């Protein structure tokens, strides 16, 4: 599957319509971003059941700010409309594959239960 360009306009629909979305925050001037791009693209072809999206942080500054992106590339993973991972740094292919494997194994019911508990404590 080819990578989807994520914008402020299509973000909500992309996240709401898909169970598992990986997001690569990048910029054209960023060397590590350019190095990571082929690794990310290769993973998108291997995992056709997942949505691979990219955010040009120069063109989508509001979206990058919403994710508190301070360094690029930054990779984020959203499952069931819940952010479960967000870290800066270009990953080598084996590390990206392991991250995807771990993200697939996350018990989302447990994540949502813990989030609800934390929210209740703050209320």
Question: Could you give the CA distance from residue 14 to residue 16 in angstroms, rounded to a whole number?
Answer: 6
Distance CA 62, CA 20 (A): 22
Sorted by sequence, the CB contacts under 8 Å of residue 93 that are 6+ apart come out as: 39, 42, 43
Q: Which residues are catalytic?
A: 30, 33
């Amino acid at each position: 599957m080819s990578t989807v360009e994520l914008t402020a306009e299509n973000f909500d629909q992309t996240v709401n319509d898909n169970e598992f979305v990986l997001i690569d925050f990048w910029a054209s001037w960023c060397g590590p971003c350019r190095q990571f791009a082929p690794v990310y693209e290769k993973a998108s072809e291997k995992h056709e059941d997942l949505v691979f999206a990219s955010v040009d942080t120069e063109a989508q500054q509001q979206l990058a700010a919403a994710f508190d992106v301070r360094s690029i590339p930054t990779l984020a993973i959203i499952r069931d409309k819940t952010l479960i991972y967000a870290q800066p740094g270009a990953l080598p292919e084996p590390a990206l594959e392991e991250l995807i494997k771990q993200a697939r194994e996350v018990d989302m019911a447990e994540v949502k239960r813990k989030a609800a508990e934390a929210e209740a404590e703050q209320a």
